[in-house]
Chain A
Amino acid sequence: MRGAQDPGLQPERTALSWTRTAGGMLLNALICLRTGYTSGSLALLGLSCALLVAAALTFGFGRRRSLVLVRHGPQIAADVAAMRWVTAATLLAVVTGLWAIAQQR
């Protein structure tokens, strides 16, 4: 029914964009998790698990966002908190990635 409301498929494209972003975060979490296992670093494993949770939460944000757009109309703008959250989660991914690079030494 989404397409019927909006010929530009705006809600659908926005929801997919959130899913892709969560996927990118999941990929980074898995790469770092692998390094955590091979190097046996507990700190890196912890950071990677946190990143895994962040990816799951980002996926959840996207899911909630798409429901809001479909149920209440595409006029509802995104939460500032959600955008800040994603930025913070990406910075967490950077810290985890740098940690993984340091573990290779």
Chain B
Amino acid sequence: MTTPTPDPRTRAPAWRTGGEEPDYRFTLANERTFLAWIRTALALLAAGVLLDQFSTQLTPHGGVATAAVLLSWAAAALSVLAYTRWRGNDIAMRHKAPLPYSHALAVLAGTVGLACMALGAWIAVSGLRA
């Protein structure tokens, strides 16, 4: 019951079988981290699409569309990053190597912070003009 039974239907890639099987708690934490990054990507995407749809009063609207497209691209980048980070962490854990460091979190926090400030200023300026 406790030993993992390999499923013959799924062919695991070579990196998945190398090294030593990590503690299951770390494996599951890595899985949840992957899913958390995916959710972050989905949230950025929803923010972009909703921003474009509900900011009809904000001018020029080309600027809003640009922001929405940039948010969508960020979502695409984050989803790919989620997978590569999950894979990298799994490989590192299997070989008892330090987990790969990523600037993704700092870049994401900075981007979201700047976007919020820029949008806030923009909304304030168009409110004053109206």
Q: Which residues of A contact B (CB under 8 A)?
A: 8, 10-11, 13-14, 17-18, 20-21, 24-25, 27-28, 31-32, 35, 72-81, 83-84, 86-87, 90-91, 93-94, 97-98, 100-101, 104-105
Closest chain A CB from B125 CB (angstroms): 22
CB–CB B41/A90 < 8 A: yes
Task: In the A-B complex, list the 9 residue pairs whose CB atoms are closest, starting with the nearest.
Answer: A90-B79, A24-B42, A87-B83, A94-B76, A17-B35, A17-B32, A97-B49, A75-B24, A21-B35
Give complex CA distance A69, B117 in Å: 43
Question: SS class of chain B's interface: helix, strand, loop or mixed?
Answer: helix
Q: Given A83-B34, A105-B65, do A97 and B28 touch, yes or no (CB 8 Å)?
A: no
CB–CB A90/B65 < 8 A: no
CB–CB A94/B79 < 8 A: yes
CB–CB A97/B12 < 8 A: no
Give complex CA distance A87, B79 in Å: 6
Give complex CA distance A101, B52 in Å: 7
Q: Which of B5, B49, B82 contacts A32 (CB 8 A)?
A: B49
Q: Which of B21, B27, B38, B49 contacts A101 (CB 8 A)?
A: B49
Q: Which residues of B contact A (CB under 8 A)?
A: 1-5, 10, 12-13, 16, 21, 24-25, 27-29, 31-32, 34-36, 38-39, 41-43, 45-46, 48-50, 52-53, 65, 68-69, 72-73, 75-76, 79-80, 82-83, 86
Residue of chain B at shortest CB distance from A100: B49
Closest chain A CB from B53 CB (angstroms): 6
Listed residue (B34, B39, B45) with the most chain A CB atoms within 10 angstroms of its CB: B45
CB–CB B39/A21 < 8 A: yes
Closest chain A CB from B45 CB (angstroms): 5
CB–CB B28/A21 < 8 A: no
Give complex CA distance A91, B117 in Å: 27
Which chain A residues border B4 with CB–CB below 8 Å?
72-73, 75-77
